[in-house]
Amino acid sequence: MTAEEIHDVIVVGAGIIGLNIAFQLARNSDLRVLVLEKGPNVAQGSTGASSAVMRARYTHPEMAMAARDGLHAYRNWAEYTGLAEPLASYEGIGTLWMMGEDQETVAADVERMGRLGIAAECLDASSLTDRWPSLNPCSVEFDPADHRCARGGYFLFEPEGGFFDPVSAAQDLRDASRGRGVEIRFGARVDGLTGGESRADGVVLDDGTRIGAGLVVLCTGPWTASWLRANHIDIGWDFRPTRIQVLTRSLPADVGPLPVVGDGCGGIYFRPEAGGDRLLLGSILESDEKELVADPDSFDTRLDPEFRDPKLWALHHRLPDLEMKGRVTGLASMYTITADVHPVIGDAAVEGVLLASGFSGHGFKEGPAVGAMVAARVLGHSPAEFGTEAPIEFFAPDRRPLDTADHSVLA
């Protein structure tokens, strides 16, 4: 059976990765790009529940470059998207690392990040409390059963860090992509590839529709493992759909201002919401990234009390003036985690198929850079604007698992 229509590139998945890839291809070429999304709109998977924290402190310089170049796009969102009035805007409140580190460690990372063009500062406890009086500068591990605070640590601050609204960003990319000729179809579930065992020439939908393409890009997030398995594709990596929880609670005005905070002493991260009256709180512990999801289409999205309570205790340690009252809500979403908590980006085992998945909680901030990597790989040249120096080869499927200082979302 022949294809009913032909495109140059089909992108499967309209999350932040798929949309950035489609947009960067359209922004830098005249290719006919089609995005197929099984949900009713954009950001139906991990993107919609992302905390969308912006930071560039990573173990590997390649990851730091991808985050840096992603942040450049988000900080210049109207220019990147070409939209006169985008829905999303950058909340540049900075990102603060409170990891119980000494001066030598923080200063070394400040210098290392500076070589990559990433702004970073080393703060002592006094400097920290001068900027954010509500933050407790304790530098020892928090134990709710037996804890005595101690000052004296040093803290790394990324002044260009912050956060973004993930759903608005995806909606902006949807509109910007369509404005550049990308076709996006919702309710279009891709069942498999067409072509032979060694070469794909398109996809088939669940209703039997066949659509041809020179290249298929899989941005299938938590559905990657089941999708590859159903299509008998083995690239040597496990893509583990993993249940991840976040919660929010009220934030009185007298507690602010606050940056984004990564708190290694308490095992949490937190940031204000865009309106400033609520706080979002999540975990940076590897132990909270172990609950596998059997079916990404059907899993428990409720907040577990046994997750909630220890995180709130850690939050009140870091924000001692925060009242222990107020409505607490939360939800569970998914990361797609790999063995080394780094994404896999590159040619799959079938010619004509490229994979971008396994972002392990890093995907949102890196989305524009991933789009630039894939565009460079497809077009044979880097984008003239909003490109990236991060090499796609670093994330290739045939790489060895990477060594990282932390096998959690921190990487």
Omega of the bond leading into 391 within 30 degrees of 0 (cis): no
Fold of the domain spanning 95-159+240-337: D-Amino Acid Oxidase; Chain A, domain 2 (3.30.9)
Residue 403 DSSP class: P
**Every domain range in the chain assigned CATH 3.30.9.10:** 95-159+240-337
Q: Residue 151: its pLDDT value, please?
A: 86
Please report the pLDDT score of residue 94 as a whole number.
Answer: 98
CA 116-126-110 angle, 5° bins? 10
- CATH 3.50.50.60 boundaries in the chain: 5-87+165-238+340-395
What per-residue confidence (pLDDT) applies to 2?
66
What is the residue-level pLDDT of the chain in tens, covering all 411 positions? 467 899 999 999 999 999 999 999 999 999 999 999 999 999 999 999 999 999 999 999 999 999 999 999 999 999 999 999 999 999 999 999 999 999 999 999 999 999 999 999 999 999 999 999 999 999 999 999 999 999 889 999 999 999 999 999 999 999 999 999 999 999 999 999 999 888 999 999 999 999 999 999 999 999 999 999 999 999 999 999 999 999 999 999 999 899 999 999 999 999 999 888 999 999 999 999 999 999 999 999 999 999 999 999 999 999 999 998 888 999 999 999 999 999 999 999 899 999 999 999 999 999 999 999 999 999 999 999 999 999 999 999 999 999 887 777 787
- Token duo for residue 195: 């072509």
Q: CA 358, 363, 366, 372 torsion: positive or negative?
A: positive
Q: Which two tokens stand for residue 328?
A: 């607490």
**333: three-class secondary structure by DSSP:** strand
What's the rounded Cα separation, in Å, for the pair 125 and 135? Answer: 10
**Closest Cα partner for 11 from 258, 157, 177, 136?**
177
Q: Which residues pair with 9 in a beta bridge?
A: 33, 215
pLDDT of residue 410: 81
Cα 53 to Cα 285: distance, rounded to the nearest angstrom: 16
Residue 310 and residue 144 in contact, taking contact as beta carbons nearer than 8 Å:
yes
- Give the DSSP letter of residue 232: T
CATH 3.50.50.60 fits 5-87+165-238+340-395, yes or no: yes
pTM over 0.85: yes
Angle between helices 166-179 and 16-27 (to 10 degrees): 30
Distance CA 378, CA 396 (A): 15
